[in-house]
Amino acid sequence: MNRQKLSQFDPDIFSIIAKERKRQEEGLEMIPSENFVSPAVLEALGSILTNKYSEGYVGNRYYGGCEFIDSVEQLAIDRAKELFGAEHVNVQPLSGAPANIAVYLALLKPGETILGMDLSHGGHLTHGSPVTHMADLFNFVRYKTNAQGVIDYDELRDMARRHKPQLVLVGYSAYSREIDYRKIKAIADETESMTMADIAHIAGLIAGGRMNNPVPLFDVVTTTTHKTLRGPRGGMIMCKEKWAKVIDKSVFPGFQGGPHEHNISAKAVAFKEALQPEFRIYAGQVIKNAKVLEEELKKRDYTICFGQTDNHLLLIDLTNKGLTGREAQVALDAAGITVNKNMVPDDPRSPMNPSGIRLGTPALTTRGMKEDQMRLVADWLDTAVTHHASETVLQRVKKEIVELTAKFPLYA
């Protein structure tokens, strides 16, 4: 066994990790699906639990020596149930997309219909984008937002009546508004459809009591455990007890092999953190910070898609600013602000060079930044976009950002 430290045995990887840490520490991480985990989560993630194979579920494994593994996984399940009010929880999905796919394969037959949100209007790839394998397997019908930038529940009801979907799916990756889950449930009940919510982006805001919780209402709810929930990269499925066996069987052995118990232990730690009173304060501050960014960017004539934000993210159409999302992303990277290029509703441009950018506040809020810092961030963002061709200006902004981030250290 190699017993050398990483810095001694593999200085190449060690050096790259050090550079990435410096980038994270000295920049503004504003991709809304990104966050910073605690040292405790990192410790669990890097633990010796990675050594153990544990195919199966608590109390019913295919391998011996799983008594402590069972304890870890049961803690994660119990904490998730308490956090979201779930009847049944599966913490084994490796990420959000596998969780969604496992649900589809559990509840539906090939060719059956799913009514989901259009990708360019804020949905997710796994909600029926034609480029995914699931779009070949199931019949996805995609709804959009209306002219006011919100989900049109009347149109959604009409589509449900017309297409008779087996599953009505809500959730998003770039939509910035709250969802009325009771209305969705009523529509699904009318057409005798099952209900599914993908809360990957807003799970932390729901856990913190700041957004509506679909778990008590819907048949199935999926989520990632990173993003606003501030845990390790992974997935989770919550469902009514009636679906427990079929969903568990779909995850394993239907879709995945042995679970990653080091990751599940880190999920358990993150769930415990989310159960603390401090997490509710954090979730509230994430939304406050996003609202300040919205206000400041509107003052500077930025087009906020969907009219406003009710959560942690902003989708911005840059058409009136005379540059593409890709050009803005490159300029902002040079200035020390990390966002992602993103399509806007009915975008005439391509996904790799779209009209917009997507940004959010979870990671900055984790660092302790509040409203005053968001006003600085809005000014820097505007400066970088306005002077995207000026290396001198971008470097000046980057220097100012490094000075700010030094006051909000990541890991001591």
Q: Which of 29, 73, 118, 198 is catalytic?
A: 198
Beta strand spans in 137-262 (E): 139-143, 167-171, 194-198, 220-224, 235-239
d(CA 66, CA 173): 36
Which of 144, 157, 183, 233 is catalytic? The answer is 233
Residue 403 is among the residues annotated as catalytic for this protein: no
Q: Among this protein's residues, is 198 annotated catalytic?
A: yes
The length of the chain, given as a count of residues: 412
Which sign does the torsion angle of CA 364, 370, 373, 377 carry?
positive
Written as one letter, the residue type at 238 is M
Q: Strand pairing of 113-117 and 220-224?
A: unpaired
The two tokens of residue 326 are 């890709």
Please give the angle made by the CA atoms of 304, 36 and 266, to the nearest 5 degrees.
130
Q: Do residues 142 and 176 touch, judged by C-beta distance below 8 A?
A: no
* Short-list 274, 292, 121, CA closest to 206: 274
Q: Where are the strands (E) in 199-254, listed by range? A: 220-224, 235-239
First-to-last CA distance in the chain?
31
Does the active-site annotation cover 55? yes
Q: How far apart are CA 329 and CA 401, in angstroms?
A: 16
> Which candidate in 10, 53, 249, 295 is catalytic?
53
Q: Tell me whether residue 233 is one of the annotated catalytic residues.
A: yes
Our answer to whether residue 145 is catalytic in this structure is no
β-pairing, 313-317 vs 303-304, is antiparallel
Active-site option among 142, 185, 227, 341: 227
Q: Is the peptide bond before 253 cis (omega within 30 degrees of 0)?
A: yes
At 193, the amino acid letter reads S
Report how far apart, in Å, the C-alpha atoms of 114 and of each of 135, 137, 162, 166, 170 are. Answer: 10, 11, 12, 6, 10
Residue 180 annotated as catalytic: no
Which candidate in 10, 26, 34, 55 is catalytic? Answer: 55
Tokens of 108: 């539906």
* Nearest by Cα to 143 from 97, 317, 223, 162: 162
Q: Which of 224, 228, 324, 383 is catalytic?
A: 224
Give bridge partners of residue 239 from the DSSP assignment.
88, 220
Residue numbers annotated as active site: 53, 55, 198, 224, 227, 233
